[in-house]
Structure 1
Amino acid sequence: MKSSPHDPTPRLSIGQLAQRSGIATSALRFYETEGLITASRSSGGHRQYPRHVLRRVAFIRAAQVVGLTLPQIKAALATLPDGRTPTKADWTRLSAGWAPLLDARIAALQELRGKLTGCIGCGCLSLKACALYNPDDKVSDQGAGARLLRIEPGA
C-alpha cells in the first residue's frame, strides 16, 4: 500500500509512532510482521503509518496487559470489519469475552498467595516437598535438573 501524494491522511514515521505510543520500533516492526498493524511505504521505502494506528497499538498494549497473547489479539482484531481500528464499542464487546480469562488469572494468583503464606511458615523450600515450587513432586516426571516455575490454575 503506497502513499499517494494526494492522500490527505496524516502519516507517522516508525520513529514518531514509537515516540507517541511508547513502543519500541522493533516491537512495531514485529507487530507489522505479525499482521497486527500495517504501514505504507514512502518513495524511499520508509514505513509510514496512518495516525489511527496509534489507537490500534493502544488496543494491542491494553490487551497484552489483560494477559492476551499476540495470536489472541490478532484473532480479536480480525473480527473487526475491513481491519479497521477498534472503537470503544469494539473494546466493550471484545473485553467482555476476556472476563473469564481474568477470572482464571485472579483465581491462580489467589491460590499462589495461599501457597506463599504456607511457605513463609514452612521455610523449607524443599524441591521435593514444596507446594509452591513443585506441587506433589510433579516435576520429577520430567527428569533431573532445573525446571521453570509456572503457576497454572489448579496446579
Structure 2
Amino acid sequence: MAILDPADMDKDLSVGEVAERSGVAVSTIHFYESKGLIASWRSSGNQRRFPRDVLRRIAVIKVAQRLGVPLATIAQALKTLPDGRTPTAEDWKRLSAAWKADLDERIAVLTKLRDGLEGCIGCGCLSLGECPLRNPWDELSEDGPGPRLLDPR
C-alpha cells in the first residue's frame, strides 16, 4: 500500500486508488457509479477521477449492504447528501435511522418465521391447506384439497 503524501490530500483519486483504499474491486466501483451511488469526472487525459469523499460514501454503501438495505434504497439516501462533502457522523445517524424501522420489521418477520418453523417441525404436516409456512397466501385452500386450473386471463 502506498504511503499518502499530505500534499496529495486535496487531489482526486483514480479508480485504482479508490479500489485500494476502500477495499472493493474496480468492477464494484464501476457498478456503484453506474447505479448512481457514486460519481466521478474525466480528466483531460480521459481518466476517471473520484473526489476523496467517495471513500466515505463507499463505506456507507458497504455497511448498509451488510444490513440488507437494497441498493436502490441506498442510492435514494445518498442523493440526500450534498455533493462534494464527505458524509459526516450526523449524516450517517440520519440515514441509519431511516433504515432502522425497515430492519426492525424484517427482524420481526424473521422471528415469526423462525417460531413458526419450530412448530412446523414439531407437527411435521407441511399441509398445503393449513401450513402457514408451506403455503401462507393460499386463497384457494377454502375450495378443498387438490390442484386448480386457474384462468390465465
State the TM-score, normalized to the length of structure 1: 0.70
Report how far residue 136 of structure 1 moved.
Answer: 5.0
Indicate the residue corresponding to 2:30 in structure 1: 29
Counterparts of 1:83-102 in structure 2, within 5 Å, are 84-102=85-103
Tell me by how many angstroms 1:10 deviates: 3.0
Gaps of 5+ in 1: 1-6, 145-155
The count of residues paired between Structure 1 and Structure 2 equals 136
Distance 2:67 2:52 in 1: 24
**Residue 52 of structure 2 corresponds to residue 51 of structure 1:** yes
Q: Is 1:135 paired with 2:127? A: no
Q: What is the root-mean-square deviation of aligned Cα atoms in Å?
A: 2.8
| Match of residue 12 from structure 2 | 11
Which of 19-28 and 103-112 deviates more? Answer: 19-28
Map of 1:118 onto structure 2: 119
Q: Look up the match of 1:106.
A: 107
- Quote the Cα distance in structure 2 between the aligned partners of 1:77 and 1:119: 42
Please say which structure displays the higher CA radius of gyration.
2
Per the TM alignment, residue 14 of structure 1 is displaced from its structure 2 partner at its CA by 2.1
Structure 2 gaps, min length 5: 1-7, 142-147
For 1:64-107, what per-residue CA distance to the aligned partner results, in whole angstroms no more than 9, with x for missing partners?
A: 22332222222212222335331101111222222211110111
The Cα of 1:56 is off from its aligned counterpart by: 0.6
The answer (yes or no) to whether the contact 1:39–1:50 under 8 Å persists in 2 is: yes
Query: Structure 1 stretch 83-92 or stretch 37-46: which is displaced more?
Result: 37-46
CA-to-partner distance for each residue in 1:128-155, whole Å, 9 max, x for gaps?
5442232253598xx88xxxxxxxxxxx
Q: Secondary structure at the match of 2:50?
A: strand
